[in-house]
Structure 1
Amino acid sequence: MIHPSIIKKQRLLLALFTLLIFITVFIGMGLGYSSVSYKNILPTIFGEGTFKDEFVLFSIRMPRIIITLLSGMALAVSGAILQRITRNDLADPGIIGINSGAGAAIALFFLYAPIEADSFAMLIPVVAFLGAFAAALLIYLFSFRKNEGLQPTRLILTGIGLSMALSGLMIVLISSAEREKVDFIAKWLAGAIWGSDWPFIWAILPWLAALIPFTFYKAQRLNLFGVSAPVSIGVGMSMEKERFTLLLTAVGLSAAAVSITGGIAFIGLMAPHLAKALIGPRHQLFLPLATLIGGWLLILADTIGRNIAGPEGIPAGIVAALIGAPYFIYLLVRK
């Protein structure tokens, strides 16, 4: 049973990060190459703004902000799952190669499919999922030992190696491609938010609407991965079946996010750690908080990136890496 004071603390933290999200969104709406005056934001939202303000807000700013919020949430939950089922605090879909698998599949699709990716927004997450699943399966197979189970250190090393190999594959693929397609894949690799339009929101929303609540439902199962195998088996849990189901869930969330945002790393690493530091390791408590923290971190990274270097800005993936890489090194040294 969770003590009422802990539940109260969780609610206060959820309210705090919800407020931080709204503040960051409000600030982000007024910043950028095409700006909207802060005093005009609320009137425009309620239908009393000028045509220019409505266009900037509803066609440019809002879809991008919603995409980054949803993607950050998905990456945070995916990272929390991976850290628990692998029993490795350094696990993250961007670090261990799952995002690179999604990227390689999208690159192949974009280069060789006889259709334009922008015209098939609903298909992009499916393509990304297939690539991410293939990468996750390879990592799982190379990290698993029959008598010892999943090896966390081997998983991290295999994932990093596979990520580098797939990134190299994408560079080879684009070496002879058309300039327009090269630009797209280069932006994807850097973590630019390329799918910043309403159709892409509807493309990833069903994945998140199904998989994030499913993860919350599995919170108690995730807790059991932190105890010994005999205890988990004693309460009736099939370890490998649950691990595989949750791995698929993590892959689906990560693939849906990066199929639209590009190669974003470290959000799935940082958000669960910050949430656990604030509220404790129980998944019932920290998963909702990590979801909000992940969304806020990616909105913050994108807002900073697109406003500090000219009209094009810096991709959110690079800003997230600048924040997350030192934290990864700190965890690596500490663990």
Structure 2
Amino acid sequence: MMMTALIRKQRLILLVSLALIAATSIISMSIGYSPLSFNRLIPVLFGQGTFKEDFVLFSIRLPRIIITLLSGMALALSGSILQSVTRNDLADPGIIGINSGAGVAIAVFFLYVPIQVGSYVYVLPAVAFLGALLTSALIYLFSYSRTRGLNPTLLVLVGVGFSMALSGIMIVIISSAERSKVDFIAKWLAGTIWGTDWPFIWALLPWLVLLIPFTLFKAHRLNLLALNEESAIGVGLKLERERLVLILTAVAAAASAVSVTGGIAFVGLIAPHIAKALVGPRNQLYIPVAVLLGGWLLLTADTIGRNLVDPDGIAAGIMVSLIGVPYFVYLLLKK
């Protein structure tokens, strides 16, 4: 009976989340450097707009909105997995160094690998994944003990240390680079939504189409991993194998997002916490809510940021950090 009530509550929250996304998307499509009035949106969407209206909506704003939504969803998915696997409410791909690892890989690739500009959109997610994978493997090794297994608290501390070290490496890498390339990397570090064309959507969408259903399929195992290790092993769970598979899933989700949005932190921290507060800690219930909330949070941050200051606005990563840093401190003090 209680489970039925929770499922009903989850469905209601999912509907509210979709309504928030739709409302924010409409606002985001309408406001900006070239305003598009609300009463013109539907005609333009159905092909009855002027050349200027079509260009503003279909070439600039709509791709950016979709990319931002997908990236926020991927970051929230990654954070949800990491928090369950590590049994640590402070785990987030941006905080524990995964985003930084992806960033260093992208910086090295962008600066030193000759490749056609049109190929970047499809190659960057793979490059980011490799960088994030190497970083997460090192963090895992430094946090693991043969006698005690994975130490969740140590993982966060090691991750923060790696994040700081990789930020220093990034500064060294770009210190002798060309000015134009440094500008791009600086925007990436700030969390600027830079991949705002349709090809970036087709490059990012397959990752989510695969990773979200796979994570929901593994939701029961995530519930077991969120318990203590003895309980998980006692019900026959192959602990290390499941943990590694799910960490790889989290790394892939985070890397695919940051490859087109830059180094955005805290979405993967905040969205799962809000979802757990609304529907409880069962992964099959809160992950869908967290994914939608993550997309909405990043879309809201980007919509506010790009309209706050002319002409370029404030990076979405900075806007999210303004909310995320105080929340992280609150969680740190609470735990």
Q: TM-score, normalised by structure 1?
A: 0.98
The farther-off stretch of 15-24 and 166-175 is 166-175
Q: What residue number does 1:252 align with? A: 252
- CA RMSD in angstroms comes to 1.0
In the alignment, residue 323 of structure 1 is paired with which amino acid?
Answer: I
For 1:214, give the aligned amino acid.
F
8 Å CA contact 2:87, 2:227 repeated in 1? no
**How many angstroms does 1:24 deviate by?**
0.3
Answering whether residue 163 of structure 2 is matched by residue 158 of structure 1, we say no
Aligned equivalent of 1:197:
197
In structure 2, distance between residues paired with 1:252 and 1:285: 22
Partner SS for 2:35: coil
Match of 2:60 in 1: 60
- 1:318 counterpart = 2:318: yes
Partner letter of residue 141 of structure 2?
Answer: L
Distance (Å, rounded) in 1 between the aligned partners of 2:118 and 2:271: 30
- Residue in 2 aligned with 1:226? 226
The reply to whether residue 16 of structure 1 matches residue 16 of structure 2 is yes
In 2, Cα distance between the equivalents of 1:117 and 1:220? 42
Give the percent of matched residue pairs that are identical in Structure 1 and Structure 2.
64
Comparing 308-317 with 165-174, which one deviates more in the overlay? 165-174
Partner residue in 2 for 1:105: 105
The alpha carbon displacement at 1:168 in A equals 1.1
For the Cα contact (< 8 Å) 1:78–1:268, is it kept in 2? yes
1:269 maps to a residue whose letter is L
Using the alignment, how far apart are the partners of 1:231 and 1:150 within structure 2?
15
Matches within 5 A, 1:128-207: 128-207=128-207
Report the more deviating stretch, 30-39 or 61-70.
30-39
Question: Partners in 1 of 2:243 and 2:190 — Cα distance?
Answer: 31
Q: Is the contact made by 1:258 and 1:264 (CA closer than 8 Å) also made in structure 2?
A: yes
> What is the aligned length?
335
The Cα of 1:253 is off from its aligned counterpart by 0.1
Could you tell me how far 1:65 is from its partner in structure 2? 0.4
Q: 1:156 & 1:38 partners in 2: Cα distance?
A: 45
Structure 1 range deviating more: 25-34 or 15-24: 25-34
* Distance of 1:303 and 1:116 partners within structure 2: 31
Cα offset, 1:311, TM superposition: 1.3
Aligned position for 2:119 = 119
Distance in 2 (alpha carbons) for counterparts of 1:197 and 1:167: 28
Amino acid at match of 1:45: L
Cα distance per residue 1:185-233 (max 9 Å; x no partner): 0000000001111111111111111111100111000000122323222
CA distance in 2, matches of 1:229, 1:251: 22
Deviation at 1:2, TM superposition (A): 5.9
CA distance, structure 2, for counterparts of residue 104 and residue 5 of structure 1: 46
**What is the CA distance between 1:5 and its match in structure 2?**
1.3
Could you tell me how far apart the structure 1 residues matched to 2:14 and 2:128 are?
Answer: 31
Structure 2 counterpart SS, 1:54:
helix
- Partner AA of 1:67 in structure 2: I
CA contact (8 A) 2:191 2:263 kept: yes
User: What are the Cα deviations for residues 251-304 of structure 1, in whole angstroms up to 9, with x where unaligned?
Assistant: 000000000000000000000000000110001110100010000000000001
Contact kept in structure 2, 1:110 and 1:117, CA below 8 Å: no
Given that 2:86 and 2:226 are in contact with CA atoms closer than 8 Å, whether structure 1 keeps it comes out as: no
1:318 to 1:151, Cα distance in 2 relative to 1, 3 A: same
CA contact (8 A) 1:90 1:156 kept: yes
Change (3 A) 1:251 1:2: farther
- What's the CA shift for 1:3? 2.1
> Over residues 54-113 of structure 1, what are the superposed CA-to-partner deviations in whole Å (9 max), with x where a residue is unaligned?
110000000000000000000001001001111110000000000000000000000000
User: When the two structures are superposed, what TM-score results if normalisation uses the length of structure 2?
Assistant: 0.98
Mapped to 2, the partners of 1:71 and 1:291 lie a distance apart of: 10
* Partner AA of 2:186 in structure 1: A
Q: Which runs of 5+ in 1 are unaligned?
A: none
